[in-house]
Structure 1
Amino acid sequence: MAVHLRCPSTRKPELKRPYGDLDFVTDWASLGSIEDFFKKSGYTADRTLNTLYGDRRQLYFDEINHRQVDILIDTFEMCHQIPLSKRLKIDSLTLPLCELMLTKTQIIEMNRKDVLDVCALLLDHNLGSTDGDYINQSILHNLCGDDWGLYTTVSDNVKMIINMVTSGEITLPPGSKETVIERLNAIFQELQTCPKTTRWKMRSIMGKRIIWYEEVEEVRR
């Protein structure tokens, strides 16, 4: 829904898609009021997951309307970790665009809906060195330049999306293909040349011989 809110192109037939649940991020200080809020809103807590992992992630279900809400605390933690605690107040409604794009491109096996979301983000927003209506390249470089695993997954996914758009496997609104490919290529090239930390360089020696991501099992009702 965040992509839908930030990207007018998601209303176009080529990029329109259904939304199965809602994902939110909060900080540790707000954690205490979450359960009470969702209980009053008619949601049921997933007691098992919330007890085991409640300091990092919580799940709530609206049994009547079949809606699921996933709450992440301070960090987006799926196939890779993306720190968010210092970036939660950049934009009023959603994560900053860079982190929003990373929640998609950090997925080790992106599905078509994720690819459409990335295309919508890149069609409607240019790359830049600030936030707001720009995808902040500085944040992208800092995170991927310090984490070889995240860098690898994002780079692989960017190449995959380029191939899907170029081949026509993903159809974009008229006149949009060139813009999306240009911005994808710019991201890929800058990921290759951005400064890398010692941590990144040490992990790169092992490469893909050792798994570089976390396996994630999606929870559904």
Structure 2
Amino acid sequence: MPSPDDDPLPEAVALVEGAMAAGLRLRLLGGLGVRVLCPDFPPRPHRDIDFACAGKGRRDIAAFLERSGCQPDKAFNALNGDWQMYFIAPSGLPVDVMVDRLVMCHTLDLRPSLGNSSLTLDPADLLLSKLQIFELNAKDARDITQLLSGVPVGDGQGGGPFIDTRRFGEILAADWGWWRTSTGNLEKLPKLLADSAEMIPPQARFDPAAQAARLLDVANSVPKSMKWKLRANVGDRVRWYELPEEVAH
């Protein structure tokens, strides 16, 4: 567990709150976003800070981060700033800012989440940002488990943060590749949790396997687009995901 002195969450939250106070759309994603939504669960160590912002305001976000003491990689940002920016926080941690979209194994449009009043992306987008990873590692599997243990799947009628089934179904119904990777990861979860029960946080509010099953039902029952159906005919014969490379800073 991170000690108070090396925990990046307070610094990350302060930057988002400062941006929001200045009228700028900056939101947490990644594991720190999960921690904001699930504050009672034990945190995992973090080695970086991940943000999302809108392309329309990215120059204002960059200026704000610099005023806040973040050192920009000017060469990287000049070449790649239309989709990603890179800084070093005052603490020394690397800061990645995804602009408009998260491009990894699949592409997730982040803009619908940037209009909310939360410190983070919407929970459905946070979950999708993890489920789209074809080769899950332990930290991503743990983030998925924590989200499904702490945030209800539903339509939001109960109040508070929720994993929006409408948003989830909308993404998966439009793209067979998205559907294939995400449902594959959800199907793996029960065995993963049976083999590594310690991933389920203590005092979990919800059964993560049951919530995963509900999302699978949504994924399988939502009406699919024509594009989805045509790609489904090809199936696994053609690779349906990208293998993202580490971007050098």
TM tier, smaller: 0.7 to 0.9
Contact 1:9 1:123 in 2 (8 A): no
Q: Determine if the alignment matches structure 1 residue 4 to structure 2 residue 40.
A: no
Gaps of 5+ in 1: none
Match of 1:61 among 79, 88, 92: 88
d(CA) in 2 for partners of 1:171, 1:200: 33
CA gap of 1:196–1:42, structure 2 versus 1, over 3 A, is same
Q: Determine if the alignment matches structure 1 residue 160 to structure 2 residue 188.
A: yes
- Trace 1:45-84 onto structure 2 (pairs within 5 A): 45-62=72-89, 65-84=91-110
Residue of structure 1 in register with 2:114 after alignment: 88
> 1:110, CA displacement in angstroms?
1.3
Q: Normalised by the size of structure 2, how large is the TM-score?
A: 0.78
Gaps of 5+ in 2: 1-31
- Choose 103-112 or 170-179, whichever is displaced more: 170-179
Aligned length: 216
Match of 2:64 among 32, 37, 41: 37
- Choose 183-192 or 145-154, whichever is displaced more: 183-192
- Choose 210-219 or 132-141, whichever is displaced more: 210-219
Which one-letter code corresponds to 2:237 in the other structure?
R
Contact 1:166 1:181 in 2 (8 A): no
Considering only aligned residues, what root-mean-square deviation do their CA atoms show, in Å? 2.3
Q: Normalised by the size of structure 1, how large is the TM-score?
A: 0.88
Contact 1:75 1:83 in 2 (8 A): yes
Q: Could you say what secondary structure the match of 1:108 adopts?
A: coil
Q: Determine if the alignment matches structure 1 residue 129 to structure 2 residue 155.
A: yes
Q: Determine if the alignment matches structure 1 residue 203 to structure 2 residue 231.
A: yes
Q: Percent identity?
A: 30
Q: Deviations over 1:44-85 (max 9, x none)?
A: 3234432332111111124x7331111111122221111122
